[in-house]
Amino acid sequence: MDVMIDLETYSNTPNSVIVQIGAVEFNRQTGETLRNFKTNVDAQSCIDHGMEVNIDTINWWMSQPDKARKSILKDGINIKEALSKFTKFIKTVEEEPRNVILWCHATFDEPILSNAYNRVGIEEPWHYRSVRDLRTLIDLANVDPYTYQNNGTHHDALADCRFQIRYTVDALNKLKGV
């Protein structure tokens, strides 16, 4: 099964503090969305595990709309608890979680998430060969995500997942000639 993931972070490096994790299970042929996952993460718990904040990213967040900033600031849970909950979500998507296909910006979201799992001592619930990159896909399919309207709060991880699914499915179908 396919799962779109998106992170909101306080840096853009693999060792970034994570402040929100979003994921949506979806059908890659139809775009039908199934279950979803979203949790806010306590930034201090990430720092306590050696993850980092970047001042440029903090300044960028300060320039974002109130709705986006507010979506990441409430009810953050410890990073270890957040990753444990995310693992349970992945394990309920597919009987064998290593068969899950993770879609994301593979040079951003997955390395940060992988690092966080490593930092807290939990095994990633996916196989490294199961990660698919959105940027490569849309480049090969010649799909421009900026032509799509984002109906949710931009930089809310769950809303971003739903938005990314729309152009991912279109790109996959375009490449298949559908």
Give tens-digit pLDDT for 115-174.
999 999 999 999 889 999 999 999 999 999 999 998 889 999 999 999 999 999 999 999
Give tens-digit pLDDT for 69-106.
999 998 999 999 999 999 999 988 666 666 889 999 99
What pLDDT, on a 0 to 100 scale, did the predictor assign at position 96? 67
Residue with tokens 């010649």: 142
What pLDDT, on a 0 to 100 scale, did the predictor assign at position 94? 64
Q: Structural domain boundaries of the chain? A: 2-176
What pLDDT, on a 0 to 100 scale, did the predictor assign at position 2? 95
* Beta strands across the sheet bearing 101-104: 33-40, 18-26, 2-9, 101-104, 131-133
Cα distances from 161 to residues 18, 49, 64, 81, 156, in angstroms, run 16, 26, 18, 21, 9
Please give the DSSP secondary-structure letter assigned to residue 147: G
Binning the chain into helix, strand and coil, the percentages to the nearest 5 are 50, 20, 30
At 155, phi and psi to the nearest 5? 75, 25
Residue pair 162/24 in contact by the 8 Å Cβ criterion: yes
What pLDDT, on a 0 to 100 scale, did the predictor assign at position 112? 98
Residues 6 or more apart from 97 whose CB is under 8 A from it? 87, 90, 91, 125, 126
3-class SS letters over 60-91: HHHCCCHHHHHHHHCCCECHHHHHHHHHHHHH
Q: What class does CATH assign to 2-176?
A: alpha beta
Alpha carbon distance 26, 117 (integer Å): 23
Give tens-digit pLDDT for 12-56.
999 999 999 999 999 999 999 999 999 999 999 999 999 999 999
